[in-house]
Amino acid sequence: MSTTTSPRTRRALAAGSGFVALNAFAGGVALATGVIDLGPVVTDRLPSHSPVLAGLALVLVVGAPMAVAARRAATGHPRWAGTAVFAGACLVAWIAVQLVVIRTFSWLQPVMAAAGVAVLLAGLRGIRKR
């Protein structure tokens, strides 16, 4: 049943969460390699003052769950909806923690928070349609 449930929702979810995953992986690598420099003030606010750890955390907390959600939605995996709820919640939590930890605002934060909410809601829609 889950492979035919909400095919339009699953396609949109696969594309959206895949896009977020790619950006999280790219951002994580860019942080870890120094391509993105947060500046001394923000870097001092990071745990262990380490952009490498921040990049790794971004990959693990946002990139990996979003990639799994994209894959599961694209293939119609029986747990695609629950995975989407988890991945969306991870992204929203990441943004909330980011605001508390680095205490700096970027236009990208509300955009990514909205993407997290959209992924979460798509998952909830999939669960509800079962």
> How do residues 81-125 score in pLDDT, each as one tens digit?
999 999 999 999 999 999 999 999 999 999 999 999 999 999 999
Indicate the pTM of the whole model. 0.92
Are 36 and 30 a contacting pair, CB within 8 Å?
Answer: yes
- CA dist 128 and 121 (Å) reads 10
Which pLDDT value is given to residue 2? Answer: 44
Chain centroid to Cα 117, Å, comes to: 10
Are 88 and 21 a contacting pair, CB within 8 Å?
Answer: no
Between the alpha carbon of residue 20 and those of residues 41, 61, 79, the distances in Å are 27, 12, 19
pLDDT digits (tens, 9 = 90+) for 33-53: 999 999 999 999 999 999 999
- Please give the DSSP secondary-structure letter assigned to residue 130: -
Among the listed residues 27, 23, 6, 128, the one whose alpha carbon sits nearest the alpha carbon of residue 73: 6
